Structure 1
Amino acid sequence: MSKTVITFGTFDVFHVGHLRVIERAAALGDRLVVGVSADALNERKKGRSPVFSQAERLEIVAALKVVDAVFVEESLEQKRDYIIEHQADILVMGDDWAGRFDEFKDICEVHYLPRTPSISTTELIEKISDLA
């Protein structure tokens, strides 16, 4: 029986940490669906606009060979709806969210994957700003 994996992220200033979490998520099933945070959601949760637009981030993530479908994540509160809508069997999130989505274990498996050490979008943006 085929398994659908779903994951979410902003994926701004796309880097190897993003690639690794997406590849590891894809390895857990047969189909990978990725929710890319809307610009407005990113502003609410991080207090800043993404460097790359929502359309650009969707295009980047959709171009990855392990990604089968992408959609815009409008709200953190809609995760359950997204899981059901995409018929996901497994939810994958970074371990910085550990425990936060355990409430969905009633409808799917929940996996928290370790983040790639020493790399974050925020740190990259700060480093680039320092160079400017």
Structure 2
Amino acid sequence: MRVITFGTFDVFHVGHVKILERAAALGTELIVGVSTDALNYSKKQRYPIYEQSQRAYIINSLKFVTEVFFEESLELKREYIKQHKADILVMGDDWLGKFDEFNDICKVVYLERTPSISTTEIIEIVKAI
């Protein structure tokens, strides 16, 4: 079973590791779409702390990740799922219901996020120091 997930993975933390590890456990291969710097800017009006090649390198170094690619557009999720022949799409439960439209081409699973940790919170804490 091929599992696909997407994310920015900026300021990599234990929450990222846990959700990716649990996603990998749902299948035999884990494919990860890392959001490009341009996509992140279009969503948040700020660039990630770490540029896309560094974030992809970190994700690709995880032993349970099979493949990494760059997600260039949110509108291309269906094409990415098909292109990578994914059987399961995994997203964090903060997106609950938002990707149900893909149930026609794969199983959609929402995993609980690690409580009390997020990249945004980490960045805000560092800014305040």
TM-score, normalised with respect to structure 2: 0.99
Pairing partner for 1:115 from 108, 113, 116: 113
4+ aligned runs moved over 3 Å, structure 1: none
Gaps of 5+ in 1: none
For structure 2, the 5+ residue unaligned runs are none
How many equivalent pairs are there? 129
Amino acid in the other structure paired with 1:68: T
Distance 2:110 2:67 in 1: 21
Per-residue displacement from partner, 1:82-127 (whole Å, max 9, x unpaired)? 0000000000000111111000000000000011000000000010
User: Counterpart in 2 of 1:124?
Assistant: 122
Q: Counterpart amino acid of 1:63?
A: S
State the partner residue of 2:75. Answer: 77
How much identity, in percent, do the aligned residues show? 65
- Aligned CA-pair RMSD: 0.5
Q: Which residue of 2 aligns with 1:66?
A: 64
Separation of aligned partners in 2, 1:72 and 1:109: 22
Per the normalisation by structure 1, the TM-score is 0.97
Q: Letter of the 2:112 partner, please give it.
A: P
